[in-house]
Every structure is written in structure tokens, then in C-alpha cells.
Amino acid sequence: MIEPGFLRDCRPVADRILLLRLPDLPSNSALVIPDVASKPSRRGKVERLGNGRWMDGWRRPLSVPLGTIVHYMSCDVDDGKYVLIQEGDILGVESE
């Protein structure tokens, strides 16, 4: 659920996607990394979509539907809880 404020009114444009940042999946290794040294998660759930990019006179729809879990390169919004990215920043999609 989108929270009130900026995010309530945020509507991505073109090929932009608003993601809710999700925690990283636990690894199977025995190595423990302290929170201070760990990187923020690069995994998120698609919350809102832009309407696509104009190409050659027509609008190309985005390839990921709402609710999809993706791995991405990031640009943080709202203290890191949400992330606004372009479709090209998606590195992969988790299988269901």
C-alpha cells in the first residue's frame, strides 16, 4: 500500500517504474556481514508503472506488470523505502 504524501501523488511517466524496496533473500553461506558493511537491497516489488516510451510514433508498453519482483540498479526515493527507476535499470525478474 502506497503511503500518504509525495508517493501517494507520484505517477511515473514514460518508462519509469516505482518500486517498493524488499529485503534481500538470505544466502546459504555461513558468512555473516554486519549491517554497517552491507549494501542496501537491490530487490523490489513493482508498485506503479509509467505508460510507456514513445518510439516511432507509438507508445511501447512496459514489459513488467504490477506486483512483479525485480532486481535493479537504483536511485533512492523517500529515505530508501521506495525506488524510482527506468525500465532499462531492471537487471532481472524473479520467477514465481
Q: Give residue-wise pLDDT tens across range 43-91.
A: 899 999 999 988 888 999 999 999 999 988 866 565 678 888 899 999 8
Mean per-residue pLDDT for 1-7? 56
Tell me what pLDDT residue 37 has.
46
Please list the residues that pair with 34 across neighbouring strands.
Answer: none
* Residues 47, 82 contacting (CB under 8 angstroms): yes
Say if residue 5's pLDDT is above 80: no
Alpha-carbon distance of 44 to 46, in angstroms, equals 7
CB within 8 Å of 30: residues ≥ 6 apart: none
- pLDDT tier at 24, thresholds 50, 70, 90: confident
Tell me what pLDDT residue 55 has.
87
Model-level pTM? 0.71
Tell me what pLDDT residue 70 has.
92
- Domain locations in the chain? 16-23+39-96
Positive or negative torsion for Cα 18, 21, 27, 32: positive
Please name which of 73, 77, 12, 71 lies closest in space to residue 47, comparing C-alpha atoms. Answer: 12
CATH class of the structural domain 16-23+39-96: mainly beta
- The listed range with the strongest mean pLDDT (2-6, 34-38, 75-79) is 75-79
